[in-house]
Amino acid sequence: MYLGFVSDTRQVGYYWAALSLYAIVLGFFSAFTGVMMPRMSSLLSQGNENEFKKMIDKSFNIISTICFPLIIGSIVLAPQLINILAGSEYTGAIIPMQIIMLLVLVVGVAQILAVQVLMPLHKDKLIFTASIIGASVGVILNLLLVKKYGSIGTAIVLFVSETSVTFYFIYAVSKNKIINFPWSKFAQNFIYSAPYFFICYGTTLLLNRSVPILISAGLISCIYFFLLNIYILENKELKNLLNIVINSISK
């Protein structure tokens, strides 16, 4: 809204085009954490803290396994995605989209910590404090960046404010010894995701049209993703998630 006040409709259009894919992913995260919260509350009410922590670890594993490939692919293929989603006249949305898609992991972590950890534990004050931090950072950066940098500035505001909230959540759960944040697991999944960059970038060098590039990169990335996680790493959490999705589709 502030972008519309201090800039023009073109910049607003760039920002909304950049936000479209992120909004779809955010909907998935909201559905995932919404389904998990009753389960987490039930475990705590039964005093089963060990199972509670195991479920949190599984959620982090699923999020990091999915988010890193998605982030890398959307950043490398942002020109092609924007061309398909909004049209060739929206090239100004490419950089904002690349910035915003970094939030896929950041917001995924925040959703787990807020909805699956802090809310079932009734840590409402921590969630309120995080909201104040995010809002304050957002207001200040809006005033400093948006008028000068337009849609790119707004994307930076969104990224920094959401990141500040997520890091506060990590700090809060670590300080209160609620859970141990799995830094090593995230680093491992990031390393395993490096080939996605070469897959996506390689297709942009070999092909010159958006649709063939996206289809080729998507198919090769999916093959690598399933070979890595299902057959090599034997990711049990991902297998269970896939079984749930397949069963839901078949019904």
93 contacts: CB under 8 Å, gap ≥ 6: 13, 14, 15, 17, 18, 82, 86, 151
In tens, the pLDDT along 79-111 reads 999 999 888 899 999 999 999 999 999 999 999
Q: Are 209 and 203 in contact (CB under 8 A)?
A: no
Which burial class, exposed, middle or buried, applies to 180 when counting CB atoms under 10 A from its CB (0-12, 13-18, 19+)? exposed
List the one residue out of 240, 232, 99, 227 whose CA is nearest residue 159: 99
Please report the pLDDT score of residue 250 as a whole number: 58
Mean pLDDT, residues 7-14 taken together:
91
For residue 242, pLDDT beyond 70? no
Residue 245 has pLDDT above 60, yes or no: no
pLDDT category of residue 170 using cuts at 50, 70 and 90 = very high
What is the overall mean pLDDT for the chain?
A: 89
Split at pLDDT 50, 70, 90, the class of 247 is: low
Distance CA 192, CA 189 (A): 5
Note whether 166 and 41 are within 8 A (CB): no
Tokens at 96, concatenated: 């904002």
pLDDT in tens, 107-155: 999 999 998 889 888 899 999 999 999 999 999 999 999 999 999 999 9
Reported in sequence order, the residue ranges of the chain that DSSP labels E, i.e. its strands, are none
| pLDDT above 80 for 246 | no
pTM: 0.88
Mean pLDDT of 231-235: 79
Q: Higher pLDDT residue, 251 or 124?
A: 124
23-36: per-residue pLDDT in tens? Answer: 888 887 777 777 77
Question: Which residues, 6+ apart, have CB-to-CB distance to 23 below 8 Å?
Answer: none
N-terminal to C-terminal alpha carbon distance within the chain: 42
Q: Residue 244 has what pLDDT?
A: 58
Quick one: DSSP state of residue 228? I
- Contact partners, residue 34, CB within 8 Å, separation at least 6: 115
